[in-house]
Amino acid sequence: MAFQMPFRFADKSTPPSMDSRARQSKMMEYDQPLVWVTLLLMLLGMVMVYSASISLPDSPKFANYVRWQNTYFLQRQAMFIAVSLLAGLFVFRIRICDLQKAAPYLFIGTLVLLVLVLIPGLGVVVNGGRRWLSLKVINVQPSELMKVVAVLYAADYTVRKQEYMHKLTKGFMPMAAAVGFVGLLLLLEPDLGAFGVIVCIAMGILFLGGINAIWFGGIGAVLVVIFGSIIALSKFRRERYFAYLNPWEEDNALNKAYQLTHSLIAFGRGEIFGVGLGGSVEKLHYLPEAHTDFLLAVIGEELGLAGVLVVIAMFYWLIKRAFDIGRQAIAIDQTFAGLTAKGIGIWIGVQTFINMGVNLGLLPTKGLTLPLMSYGGTGVVINCIGLAILLRIDYENRVLMRGGRL
């Protein structure tokens, strides 16, 4: 009996194993709030794309290929979201270490696509820009793919060159040359907005990776000069910039600042709670590209300040969560994963800020979509792939914190 009592006591109560199961049950397998916020943004975007595009079949510009009348853009956006979710599920199953190994090859492959875009007959010209490759069913935009590839490549480069981060020639210059070549290809399309986002991604990851602060400040000043020169030397960009400074001047309001003035009118009509879903007047052929670049203006008109603040709050949470996941990865010595997560946060944050700034008149007009929400196949798919990588990083963090193996 003396030997049986302890054994029987341990068998009935087993407090250590119960505590272990309790601790494990408190940690989910993946970040459910991140998934729900992403889905809510995409679904709200789909509703607003439908509202913003419902009158487009009446326009001669779209009459030639709008086959399903008022629901054409809704059906295509729903198809894009379905493809995006499938692509996200596929990417989620790829280990982060495998993505790190593939990063240089993905970068080279995307460079090839950017070159192919510039070849007449292969690149598709839309609204004066040669930015797409036609796959018959859908046009692919390599500059969107370069954004997520730039995150992976910059994070991999920073990890590989960690001991040279304080040196200009071995640490910064090779990365600057790579980004400069990408910028040259993008400016030939032209796509200054995508170039700006990619520069911010690369510079942000290098800064987080420990680049010399003096070099970083100097390089930042040089970039300001470069972008200023690009604007000053281009008559079209220069006129657009001056129109942005004074959009209500009659000539500007009817020409270069036409989109901006009608975007501001849309926000003004929306006031606090909006005119109601579907009630926008500006989308009735007054505001160009209302379903893509200026979707936020339609949200502001129909849902008001309240709707815009909800969208801003969801994006803020999403970006903050990306940095939290990155910080956790670095804390458990997963440096590449941590820099990638923060790079995704920089990418989504910068593009969202530019799009919202353009819609609100805080920045000059630039053709960048609102991530996850604006109409477009490549953009939504690439956004979902980026967030799937973020979810994978969080998943691997949770596995490692439990003491598991990847």
pLDDT digits (tens, 9 = 90+) for 174-213: 888 898 899 889 988 888 889 889 999 999 998 888 877 7
Residue extents of the structural domains in the chain = 32-52+71-402
When mean pLDDT is compared across 48-57, 269-278, 299-308, the lowest value belongs to: 48-57
For range 124-137, the mean pLDDT: 76
The pLDDT value recorded for residue 52 is 92
The pLDDT value recorded for residue 64 is 63
For range 375-386, the mean pLDDT: 92
Give Cα 234 to chain centroid, integer Å.
Answer: 27
Residue 271 — very low, low, confident or very high, per pLDDT cuts 50/70/90?
very high
pLDDT tops 50 at residue 21: no
**Greatest Cα-to-Cα distance within the chain, rounded to the nearest angstrom:** 100
User: Residue 288, Cβ neighbours under 10 Å: how many?
Assistant: 15
pLDDT tops 50 at residue 314: yes
pLDDT tops 90 at residue 281: yes
For range 384-400, the mean pLDDT: 96
Mean confidence (pLDDT) of the chain: 86
Greater pLDDT, 27 or 19: 27
pLDDT tops 50 at residue 11: no
Find out whether 301 and 327 touch, Cβ atoms under 8 Å.
Answer: no
> CA distances (Å), 53 to each of 129, 277, 282, 295, in order?
22, 13, 11, 10
The pLDDT value recorded for residue 63 is 65
For range 132-137, the mean pLDDT: 77
> CA distances (Å), 96 to each of 92, 100, 340, 366, 396, in order?
9, 6, 9, 33, 8
The pLDDT value recorded for residue 78 is 95
pLDDT tops 50 at residue 32: yes
Find out whether 358 and 243 touch, Cβ atoms under 8 Å.
Answer: no
pLDDT tops 60 at residue 82: yes
Question: Quick one: which of 207, 212, 131, 135 has its CA closest to 166?
Answer: 212
pLDDT tops 80 at residue 43: yes
Q: Residue 87: what residue type?
A: A
Greater pLDDT, 322 or 253: 322
Residue 42 — very low, low, confident or very high, per pLDDT cuts 50/70/90?
very high
The pLDDT value recorded for residue 13 is 44
% of the chain surpassing 90 pLDDT: 52
